[in-house]
């Protein structure tokens, strides 16, 4: 039986920024990468876009090898679809967010995400122009930036 999610305000919905779909069609992403990404989107918290989960839990829930999950997480971080937070993974709120939030809250989430990155943010959602601005893709440059 499907489980239901409830929000205190009575509204629950997820918003994908439509321009993100062309970046989701990236040929470098494997089916395992998509499984991990969509699993994280499914379990992320409404308030802060964070999926409070460890890689071991992801591997168990998705019946995947922990090493493969680690590779998926690394790739998703390189693409800046997710960022490592103190107790899980934050889904990029420039690309995806949940619920009817005030603009100020959405902007704060985006700032929080950008602060988790050790490199220049790749995506910027410009709400005034209703456009997703995309910069060059950066990858981790040293071990200090590695996911673990």
- Between 50 and 19, name the one with better pLDDT: 50
Between CA 82 and CA 76 the distance in angstroms is 6
Contact 9, 60 (CB under 8 A): no
* Domains detected in the chain: 30-135 (1.10.10.10)
Task: Give residue-wise pLDDT tens across range 50-77.
Answer: 999 999 999 999 999 999 999 999 999 9
Nearest one of 118, 120, 128, 96 to 109, comparing CA atoms: 96
CA angle 138, 85, 53 (to 5 degrees): 115
Whether 134 has a pLDDT exceeding 50, the answer reads yes
What is the predicted pLDDT for the residue at 3?
Answer: 47
How much is the pTM? Answer: 0.76
Between CA 2 and CA 120 the distance in angstroms is 39
Q: What is the mean pLDDT of residues 29-37?
A: 95
């Amino acid at each position: 039986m499907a489980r239901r999610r409830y929000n205190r305000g009575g509204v629950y919905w997820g918003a994908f920024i439509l321009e993100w779909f062309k970046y989701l069609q990236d040929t470098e992403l494997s089916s395992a990468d998509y499984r991990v990404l969509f699993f994280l989107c499914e379990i992320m918290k409404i308030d802060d876009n964070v999926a409070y989960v460890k890689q071991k839990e992801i591997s168990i829930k998705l019946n995947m090898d922990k090493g493969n999950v680690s590779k998926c997480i690394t790739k998703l971080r390189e693409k800046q679809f997710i960022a490592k937070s103190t107790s899980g993974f934050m889904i990029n709120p420039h690309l995806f967010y949940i619920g009817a939030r005030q603009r100020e809250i959405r902007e704060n989430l985006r700032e929080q995400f950008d602060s988790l990155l050790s490199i220049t943010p790749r995506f910027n959602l410009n709400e005034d122009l209703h456009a997703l601005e995309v910069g060059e893709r950066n990858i981790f440059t040293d071990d200090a930036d590695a996911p673990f």
